[in-house]
Structure 1
Amino acid sequence: MLLSSFTGNNTFACVLYSLVQMLLMSWIFSYSICWLRNKNISKVICGIVLMFFAFPRFWAQHAISMWKDPVFSVLIYFYSLKLFDLIWSKGEVATEKNYILQCIFCVLGIGFSRNNGIYIMIFSVSIIAFWILVKYLEWGKCKKVLISSVICILFTWLVQGPGYKILGITGDPIESYGIPVQQVARTVVYNGSMTEDEKEFLNQLMPLEKYKDNYSPGLVDHFKWSSDFNTEFFNTHQSEFIKVWLSLLVKNPKLYLEAWELNTCGFWGLSFWELNNDPNNIAMGMPKEGSLEEPYNIKIGSLLGKNNAVDMLLKKYFSIYTPMPAVALCLWIALFMILLAAVKGKMKYVLIFVPCIGNILTLLIATPITYWPRYGLSFICLLPVCLVFPYLILDNNSRKID
């Protein structure tokens, strides 16, 4: 919207947005390769990392997709490298102005690019504070970074909370209740234990006989966007919903656990190996042809013309259907590295994984879907660094900070 107000053309604004996003992603990926090289990682390994970011099609797809996730994820990746530098330098880097500005850029960027960003930053900054408490870091060296980060988090909260409210910018409350709604719906569908009052309340949300038709174990959208769901009633009875949810939790823990597992397993379940070859990441979120033109005046199409020979050739080799590594696989590799660091007495270095772990934790609490790679893209960004993590933590006495 901001770009549109400057350009006066929504289509051109989309072009500019894509260019900015491509530049940001390419810059951070390039920076990370230089970052590895400056940690004395061999040129061969750095070359492999370069190929990882240059050749797979899913990076190019995310670079031009107008989701919040690409910017959000690469900023988490960049921030993770900054946190490793904090430990690597024993806090010395935190006294540099450029480093503090980079951290501020990350905190604000992550906080404003996705709704869960502020929680990730609270989690990350809390761990930094704990690292200071246990003497992994010195307060005197890190206080500017910590204080500036806290100020940025408070600023983000003020803007997104009271600020948005004053401006009349409101979200949809149901967006924050994905898993609780799934748990309650599963309890109804599978005839869980409920009182008559609870049944009456849930019937006002949606007729009880309609729950089975609308409940989908792996996706809350089918339920919450159903014409049978009383959104207005939910919005005005959120506190009552929470009370009913808690009451049903005590009486139906097994159904609740099943609902949670089925709605999150794609992000942690290694048994879903087919997710490593899931080609529908971009396709699931693509707007239908013509759906943006009339309401938003955004034209979709190739400048070469429809069915142009060059255009068709490019589509053949740069298809929107392409596999990408599973987030769960990246998560478990990171967890193994954390275990390795603990065994080797290098636990302080796991700070590099904290932002990505924070992102996964928010997904496990509130994801609306069993799996969508873009939600955990930050872990895929971190994968190359994760794989060389054992070398990075072995000895850092003779290495330099970029």
Structure 2
Amino acid sequence: LLAILPTAIWISVLFVGRRLKLFSLFAVVIAFSLVVQGPLFTAIGIKPSPLVEALAIPLQQVGAVVHNNEEITDEQAEVLSAIIPLERLATVYNNTSVDWIKFDSQFDRKAFAEQGGEFIKVWLQMAPDHPGSYLRAWGWQTLGYWDVGTENWIITKSTSAFFTPTQNLMYQVTGLEILATDPSNLDQRYDAIRHLPVVYPLFNIASMVWLTLAVCVILVASKRANLILALVPLLGLWLSMMLSAPTYCEFRYLFAFHLCLPVTLLIPFLNPTRYQSLDR
């Protein structure tokens, strides 16, 4: 929905004359999405994501406050202690990922789900008293999605192990000699390639995000802001990471930016005057 709703808002601004028809279309899309992710998923046994996934950043921000031994009220401590002992929270907190908290043996997922509302209240109450810790925790948790100097794994040994000397698909496709030998350390060889200056941006999340934002600026400057519509789903996806990223830099989370790169680069060269306006 974070991708659908911004798109609907952007369309309503650009195409005033067709708002009713367009909103009707989006209403159908949203309704279909809710049905698929609700009753249909339930019917086939797919469970919804736990609440902790959606509240990853708030949990990290609260964890940062406790880790820094900052003062909180007894009532706030009581709510947090029901989820995870404060001493344990201070110990396991890691500024790059909420996984250290949510996968800890003393973290009570059931209690967190049941007291999610109380946790949100505590999180909001603590915000005015700990703005610095909240901001730093958010910055660390989203670092890889806006900082081009941050990177993380892309290929793992569990996948590179499938390649054998006679079935080295990477070498067969690219012809690069660096991939031609023993594939057991293909992940290290992949790292060697990704750090080449020319191709580094192609393996970097933030580079693709900033490139997409630069295209948006170009479109606005050239008075073709309506073409940004094609990029709104990507921007919505990025926004979802900035609001609820569970870890600081996960390539697969924003891989859509890389998949859409050819289209993103093509958009600035489009001439909208050649096409009939949707607003007529």
Please give the range of the TM-score, normalised by the shorter of the 2 chains: 0.7 to 0.9
Q: Tell me the distance in 2 between the aligned counterparts of 1:288 and 1:208.
A: 40
Equivalent residue for 2:59? Answer: 181
8 Å contact kept, 2:160–2:187? no
- State the partner residue of 1:170: 47
Task: Name the residue aligned to 2:37.
Answer: 160
Percent identity, please: 26
Deviation at residue 121 of structure 1 after TM alignment = 1.7
Superposed CA offset, 1:21-74 (max 9, x none):
xxxxxxxxxxxxxxxxxxxxxxxxxxxxxxxxxxxxxxxxxxxxxxxxxxxxxx
Alignment map for 1:304-343 (pairs within 5 Å): 309-311=165-167, 316-317=179-180, 319-320=186-187, 322=190, 323=194, 324-343=202-221
Give the partner amino acid of 1:310: T
Structure 1 residues 328-359: Cα deviation after superposition (integer angstroms, max 9, x where no partner):
11111222222222222221111121110000
1:232 aligns with 2:110: yes
Q: 1:213 to 1:310 in 2, by over 3 A?
A: same
Q: CA deviation at 1:309?
A: 4.7
Q: Offset of 1:313 from its aligned partner? A: 8.9
Cα gap change, 1:237 to 1:347, in 2 (>3 Å) = same
1:360 aligns with 2:208: no
1:267 corresponds to:
145
Alpha-carbon shift at residue 383 of structure 1 (Å): 2.4
**RMSD (CA atoms):** 2.9
Q: Whole-Å Cα distance in 1 between the matches of residues 110 and 251 of structure 2? A: 31
Q: Distance in 1 between matches of 2:45 and 2:221?
A: 52
Task: Name the CA shift for 1:231/1:398 in 2 (closer, same or farther; >3 Å).
Answer: closer
What displacement does 1:146 show?
Answer: 4.9
**2:90 alignment partner, SS class:** helix
Contact 1:193 1:248 (8 Å CA) reproduced: no
- Measured in 1, the distance between the counterparts of 2:169 and 2:229 equals 45
Counterpart amino acid of residue 125 in structure 1 = A
Distance 2:269 2:45 in 1: 51
Secondary structure class of the residue paired with 1:310: coil
Going from structure 1 to structure 2, the CA distance change for 1:398 and 1:182 (only over 3 Å counts) comes to: closer
Deviation at 1:281, TM superposition (A): 1.6
The answer to whether 1:123 aligns with 2:1 is no
Indicate conservation of the 8 Å contact 2:141/2:245, yes or no. Answer: yes
Task: For 1:246 and 1:314, locate their aligned partners in 2 and report how far apart those are by CA, in whole Å.
Answer: 49
* Conservation of the 8 A alpha-carbon contact between 1:125 and 1:150: no
Contact 2:142–2:245 under 8 Å retained in 1: yes
Instruction: Supply the AA of the counterpart residue of 2:38.
Output: G
Instruction: State the TM-score, normalized to the length of structure 2.
Output: 0.79
| Secondary structure of 1:205 counterpart | coil
CA contact (8 A) 1:182 1:220 kept: yes
Q: 1:380 to 1:166 in 2, by over 3 A?
A: closer
* Structure 1, gaps ≥5 residues long: 1-117, 290-300, 303-307
Would the alpha carbon gap of residues 146 and 345 (structure 1) be closer, same or farther in structure 2, given more than 3 Å must change? same
TM value normalised by structure 1 = 0.56
Distance 2:215 2:38 in 1: 37
Q: SS of the counterpart of 1:349?
A: helix
**CA displacement, residues 247-298 of structure 1 (integer Å, 9 cap, x when unaligned):** 011211111111100000110123x1x53xx5x22328x4899xxxxxxxxx
Question: Which residue type is aligned with residue 255 of structure 2?
Answer: L
Matches of 2:13 and 2:255, distance apart in 1: 27
Which one of 27, 42, 53 corresponds to residue 150 of structure 1?
27
Contact preservation (8 Å) 1:179, 1:367: yes
Residue 12 of structure 2 aligns to which amino acid in structure 1?
Answer: A
Separation (CA, whole Å) in 2 of partners of 1:392 and 1:163: 40
Instruction: Determine the C-alpha separation between the residues in 1 that align with 2:275 and 2:265.
Output: 21
Residue 218 (structure 1) aligned with residue 96 (structure 2): yes
Counterpart selection for 1:283 from 156, 160, 176: 156
Shift of 1:126: 2.7
- Which amino acid counterpart does residue 206 of structure 1 have in structure 2? I
**Shift in Å, 1:194:** 0.9
Q: Is the 8 Å Cα contact of residues 193 and 252 (structure 1) preserved in structure 2?
A: no
- Larger mean CA deviation between 239-248 and 120-129 belongs to 120-129
Q: What is the aligned counterpart of 1:139 among 8, 15, 18? A: 18
CA shift for structure 1 position 166: 6.5
Amino acid at match of 2:65: T
Q: Deviations over 1:113-149 (max 9, x none)?
A: xxxxx3212222232223222xxxx429x93x65334
